[in-house]
Amino acid sequence: MVDLDVVVVGAGFSGIYAVHAFRSAGLTVKAFEAGDGIGGTWFWNSYPGARCDVESKDYSYAFSPELEQEWSWSERYPAQPEILRYLSHVAGKFGLWPHIQLNTRVTGASWDAATASWAVTTSDGATVTARYFVSAAGCLSEFQVPDLPGLDSFEGPWYHTARWPKDGVDFAGKRVGLVGTGSTGIQVAPEIAAVADHLYVFQRTANFAVPNRNRPWEEAEERAFKSRYREYRAEARESFLGVPITGTGRPVLSEPPDDVQRLFTERWRAGGGMPFLGAYTDVLVSQEANDVVAEFMRDRIRETVDDPAVAELLCPRGYPVGSKRLCQSDDYYAMFNRPNVSLVDIRSTPVESVYPGGVKTSADSYELDSLVFATGFDALTGALFAMDIRGAGGVPLRSAWAAGAQAYLGVAAAGFPNMFIITGPGSPSVFSNMVLSIEQHVEWVRDCVVWLRSRGHATIEATAAAQAEWMEHVSEVANSTLFPRADSWYVGANIPGKPRVFTSYLAGCGPYRARCDAVAAAGYEGFALGGP
């Protein structure tokens, strides 16, 4: 006797929607969530300044027209607390709370061929069995703290942004060191600088950031927008990034330079990364085109930052703009004009150690009261490997993916029957509006399970051949772009020893959806189906 139809790991955007979707299809489902609240990435990353850089109207569920009409976002870009309120509202509205078990981490899952089910173990010592095992554990869940010699000896408190204390941190009067200048570091830095005695930003790699131009969402604007929300969502589904963007449709290199400067200036003033990088067709495929954008952005840094030496240090070099995740901020660069902020170049003078009173680089020592790490995540595979997942024949997922993650359509792995990964490696996932991609995956998996039941199939498993062909295609598309050129978390370069594989599908959300639908329409082509 199997306990449930579906076990879901995690209660972030994907887990919450998965619970709703499976329940609505008449399946029994339970989600296990390690946190003491729902929200996933938005639950854990509660650092000051945490805000989504996809607009609220896009970064929200599309499955319920009633929900999208009744919920009002207060700002163009949603801040972390507002996203959590939204998700709580969703869980309440659709009656999901009874099906989510908080404070419970999934520790392992083993496939049992005899019963065609998964045995899922949890941190409370329980085991539950289910026909289907669905990971909604997130792409950026396993956070990374650098292995700095002497960190244990540091006398002050230190924090990682992905485990921020729920009661907040008071930096007033403190000398704070911040390590990490990615999307997170760039968001948290101005908040710390506003209250701290002094902020030292330890920068290994300078990052490109476009302005947000965040602002309140006015009622009239909201009303007008909501009157055509359905049409907008339909456009989003077919779009490249999961957000409708109007580009020129022309390569930057074919345009008169004055026109290029004018258009970039307009888009810089309007704010937002997607419209900026999406203005021309060749920016992410041609280094020469990319250089035009990069230089435009470096000029904006130079005109914002007063000290030319600091400005030069903040100017990113050595990788194409966009090939590391483009950051967004209205105040990061200007923050370096404050007298209480210093930029420390740890590329040329690396951190050697942490001592009880601070941080020592090869050039200097910095007396600090607190340290903040915004040093990122073991992306895409980290959360999956944190569980002991064993597929057919007891093979661990870690071994199956030792040379790099492999998943057919980014949703199912050969050797792991009846297991699905929401926004897994090989899908557009982190290169798209995540909420849209989550909904697409969850709905595809739900429809698949319903179909299997209607046909009396007890099992489904991606074939090794279909998976290999898909990953080859993923890599071919990636290699036609500039993305694999940067040492980024996109290729696993931030995790020592991780195989360097680019595992996101870059052909766009619309074409990807069409491919998934075609696979389903062909009776789940590329999957082996088992009998009752």
User: Which chain residues interact with ligand N01 by CB under 6 A?
Assistant: 51-53, 140, 146, 179-185, 187, 204-205, 325, 328, 346, 374-377, 430, 489, 494
**Residue 113 CB, nearest distance to ligand N01 (Å)?**
37
**Residue 509 CB, nearest distance to ligand N01 (Å)?**
16
**Residue 350 CB, nearest distance to ligand N01 (Å)?**
8
- C-beta of 56 vs 104, nearer to ligand N01: 56
CA–CA separation, 219 and 215 (whole Å): 12
- C-beta of 78 vs 508, nearer to ligand N01: 78
Query: Which three-class secondary structure state does DSSP give residue 130?
Result: strand
Residues 6+ apart with CB under 8 A from 180: 161, 202, 373, 374, 375, 376
- C-beta of 146 vs 247, nearer to ligand N01: 146
Name the token pair of 291: 């250089």
Name the token pair of 112: 């049992």
Residues 6+ apart with CB under 8 A from 439: 17, 61, 62, 63
Closest CA to 477 of 406, 428, 405, 518: 428
As a three-state string, the secondary structure of 401-429 is CCCCCCCECCCECCCCCCEEECCCECECH
- C-beta of 356 vs 496, nearer to ligand N01: 496
Name the token pair of 86: 């939204």
Q: Which residues pair with 419 in a beta bridge?
A: 133
**Residue 179 CB, nearest distance to ligand N01 (Å)?**
5
Which whole-number Å values give the CA distances from 339 to 192, 206, 307, 358, 366, in the listed order? 13, 20, 11, 20, 16
**Residue 15 CB, nearest distance to ligand N01 (Å)?**
18
**Residue 195 CB, nearest distance to ligand N01 (Å)?**
20
- C-beta of 40 vs 182, nearer to ligand N01: 182
Q: What is the CA radius of gyration of the chain?
A: 23
- C-beta of 371 vs 407, nearer to ligand N01: 371
Contact call for residues 446 and 438 (beta carbons, < 8 A): no
**Residue 232 CB, nearest distance to ligand N01 (Å)?**
20
- C-beta of 151 vs 450, nearer to ligand N01: 151
Task: Write down the residue that tokens 């997130």 correspond to.
Answer: 138
Contact call for residues 190 and 167 (beta carbons, < 8 A): no
**Residue 259 CB, nearest distance to ligand N01 (Å)?**
30
- Give the CA dihedral 196, 202, 207, 209, nearest 10 degrees: 0
**Residue 205 CB, nearest distance to ligand N01 (Å)?**
3
Sign for the CA dihedral angle at 426, 431, 432, 433 comes to positive
CA–CA separation, 88 and 86 (whole Å): 5
- C-beta of 185 vs 415, nearer to ligand N01: 185
- C-beta of 101 vs 205, nearer to ligand N01: 205
Q: Which residues pair with 117 in a beta bridge?
A: 112
